[in-house]
Structure 1
Amino acid sequence: MKQLIAIAFLAIVFAGCKQDNKKSFTVNGAITNTEAKKVYLEEVPVASMQPVIVDSSDIQNGKFTLKTEALEAAIYNIRLDQLDFPVASVINDEATVDLSITMSTHNPQLPEKFDVKNSPASQAMKEFMLAFNDKMIRLVNNAHKLDSLRTTKVADSTLAPLMQTIKQDGTALRAYALGEIKKGVNPALSMFELGYYQSTANGQALGLEPLDNKQVLALIDDVTKKFPNHVAVAGLKINLQQEMKAAEDRTWIGKPAPDFTLPDVSGKPVALNSFRGQYVLVDFWASWCRPCRAENPNVVAVFNKYKAKGFTVLGVSLDDDANSWKNAIQNDKLAWTQVSDLKKWDSPVVPMYKFGGIPFNVLIDPQGKVIAEGLRGMDLENKLAAVLP
């Protein structure tokens, strides 16, 4: 638990920027179980997401005071001189915040706990992290258990209940995070919670789906409506809109799918254009990719449901070990054509399709045109239901 709290402070934080009226912000702190001599106050600006030191103080008799001019609602980290990561974080919703930090006696690099007073937003942020991490512990433990069971090659009937539990826990954690973000009591808090969830989900936590850009934009838009004068959130919204527009220009949807030829598991060359006349999902994955393996049961189910209606899958693996690749195909029961040049990220298909992470896929119509990309979970089945009634 303590390690997860420490890791949490490294999550991407969205907060900061300017406001017309500058207000003084003070953190009165007390700290125990540390040999640190100095403490720093860091603001985390939205533009760079890199902490900026705005004040420092000597620690005298376990006490310190940090001050800055608060430009608008923002996240502030408290960091000790010998540590690279924060030991606490607060929000400047009040002019003065009282903070009490207890460092671990077993690991001086980690905070055992911290208590905050006179700051409802800071307290809410702390409670969010603790609740989120508690839920993540269950998710991670079950994911490790699933990995262990898979190595023993147990029957699918044994894995299915645990996989369902992981899926349900991931859905519940996502719902919890979204609910907290939408409360919108403080713009910095909402953006912190959003960044916290996204950084965890993008870290490939099994069972936890990251929000797509449209969902993120909708959440940020809600915050801008509640807090129209918060410059940082407004700027974040504009930046995301520009990124989404650029992504639209880069999308494969509506364009012919680039052709390629790669060897299958027996070494026979297979060309993508040999699948013309069918709807084909080109599925980029790898045996070492945990989210890919978690997504495979969904693809298997959709393949079995629609294979008689003119649909198939072409698996393109970014593996570099043939045995691991073939074992994953067998263990995950992937009954469609699989190809790989075993060059991992050096495979020419990576720059050809311009993706930076897996799982990634494109759905191609019988004429060879891409009609969808990045389909996961129910999105894949919903798309196929629409084109293959």
Structure 2
Amino acid sequence: MKKIFFIVASCLLIIIACKDDKSSEAAAVEGFVIQGKMDTLQPSSMALLSYKQNDSTYLDSTMVKDGKFQFEGEVAHPDNANISIRHGNEFPEKSWNRDTYSFYIENSEIEITASDSIKKAEIKGSKLTNQSIEFSKVMNPYREKIQTLSRGLQGKPQDDAYMATVDTIKATGKKAEDYARKFIEDHRNSYIALQTFANYELGYNFDPKVAEAEYDKFSADVRNTPLGERVWDKIALAKKTSVGEKAIDFTQTTLEGEEFSLNSLKGKYVLIDFWASWCVPCRMENPFVVKAYNEYKDKNFEIVGISLDESKKPWEKAVEKDGLPWIHVSDLKGFKNEAAQAYGITAIPQNFLINPEGIIIDKNLRGEDVAARLSEIFKKS
């Protein structure tokens, strides 16, 4: 079942991307103009536009007149945007009940038309939005099929029918992968292609050398956006935690309330294990790690579990329930854990195997691989 989890998780990381239009290389429009039209709106209705630029959120609003509204401005780079329509004098109390349309904002002339709800709008003039809609028509059926088949496996015996379904899930995932990768390869001047690359190709265990080579193929305009900078920062950080690099030292607090530093274990083989009490795949890995620890704990080997919990009680309870007898540390900041950020952790479980000189010699070992790798090491020593 673990394999199914990772297949589904990988496939669901594929964001809605798009097919590029070669005519997009025309001269850029100075700023944007968004013209909206909804025939059924009351005279007191309002349109609210929101979008992000760098770390700032921009808001603009305008009254609807004769079912029409307009926004003008300029963006330094494309980004996700929302237009919400206030039907009458006030918005619904719950923000998620608002009548909202999501699209990509870019410097162009954009037309948004709808009848009774902006959620059902049609859009013209936003190349990125139309490309995204186009791509989703191909990608969404893959994702829906994977989700449906995966749900159908829950509680089922792992017989021939079960394995046949697993094979179908793998084949469907492969088709989705091929489609996304072809899009990335064919559309290196596309902002959405970079988003697809960031969310799909930069998974929890990507090769930074390969990623850097692929990243360099994107156009300079795309790379020089804030998204491009974030992607590069992620690749650069991954290079620092690659096999062959020196492990980054950290200091965290143990379950007993004492300060612990990774450097204190210099001279030992150490498995740094990022996990959390709420992480089901992490808890599924624990029996394999316990088995490896019990076999090699007296052979110059130690484990440091770094919890991404935000509360001590569930962390402590999980350690006790799963019988994890090694060193446990955390700063109880969740994914903002300082050690996790230093190692570029955005998904768990993840682990790093370090030699006595403090060099990373392997990473993201799963299941029996932990014990197998340690067996290989200690047979040689």
Partner-residue secondary structure (3-state), 1:87: strand
Equivalent position to 2:279, from 289, 297, 304: 289
Structure 1 position 371, deviation (Å) = 1.8
Q: Does 1:359 align with 2:349?
A: yes
Indicate conservation of the 8 Å contact 1:315/1:338, yes or no: no
Aligned to 1:37: 45
Seen in structure 2, the aligned counterparts of structure 1 residues 212 and 115 have a Cα distance that, compared at 3 Å, is farther
What are the within-5 Å matches in structure 2 for residues 223-238 of structure 1? 223-224=218-219, 228=220, 230=221, 233-236=223-226, 237=228
Indicate conservation of the 8 Å contact 1:283/1:360, yes or no: yes
What are the within-5 Å matches in structure 2 for residues 206-221 of structure 1? 217-221=212-216
Structure 1 position 359, deviation (Å) = 1.8
Indicate conservation of the 8 Å contact 1:316/1:338, yes or no: no
Indicate conservation of the 8 Å contact 2:78/2:191, yes or no: yes
Any gaps of 5 or more consecutive residues in structure 2?
A: 1-12, 17-26, 256-261
Indicate conservation of the 8 Å contact 1:22/1:69, yes or no: no
Equivalent position to 2:358, from 361, 366, 369: 369
Separation in 2 of the partners of 1:278 and 1:155? Answer: 42
Structure 1 position 234, deviation (Å) = 1.9
Seen in structure 2, the aligned counterparts of structure 1 residues 24 and 281 have a Cα distance that, compared at 3 Å, is closer
Structure 1 position 70, deviation (Å) = 5.9
Aligned-residue Cα RMSD (Å) equals 5.8
Separation in 1 of the partners of 2:58 and 2:253? Answer: 49
**How many residues in Structure 1 have an aligned counterpart in Structure 2?**
321
Letter in 1 for 2:112: L
Aligned to 1:17: none
Aligned to 1:116: 123
Partner-residue secondary structure (3-state), 2:278: coil
Letter in 1 for 2:33: T
Aligned to 1:269: none
Indicate conservation of the 8 Å contact 1:253/1:370, yes or no: yes
Residues 251-306 of structure 1: per-residue CA shift (max 9 Å, x gap): 8942498899989xxxxxxxx99x99996644332452145357x49978x97xx9
Structure 1 position 171, deviation (Å) = 5.2
Separation in 1 of the partners of 2:137 and 2:130? Answer: 11
Letter in 1 for 2:332: W
Structure 1 position 363, deviation (Å) = 0.7
State the TM-score, normalizing by the size of structure 1. Answer: 0.55
Aligned to 1:222: 217
Aligned to 2:67: 62
Residues 201-243 of structure 1: per-residue CA shift (max 9 Å, x gap): 99xxxxx76867656654543222xxx4x2x632544565466
Partner-residue secondary structure (3-state), 1:26: strand
Indicate conservation of the 8 Å contact 2:304/2:328, yes or no: no
Q: Percent identity?
A: 18
Equivalent position to 2:34, from 27, 40, 45: 27
Any gaps of 5 or more consecutive residues in structure 1?
A: 1-7, 12-19, 105-110, 203-207, 264-271, 331-336
State the TM-score, normalizing by the size of structure 2. Answer: 0.56
Residues 50-109 of structure 1: per-residue CA shift (max 9 Å, x gap): 4424x544323433333334666665543335457851314547x4333234666xxxxx
What are the within-5 Å matches in structure 2 for residues 25-104 of structure 1? 25-31=32-38, 37-45=45-53, 47-48=54-55, 50-53=56-59, 56-69=61-74, 76-81=81-86, 82=91, 83=95, 86-90=100-104, 92=106, 95-101=108-114
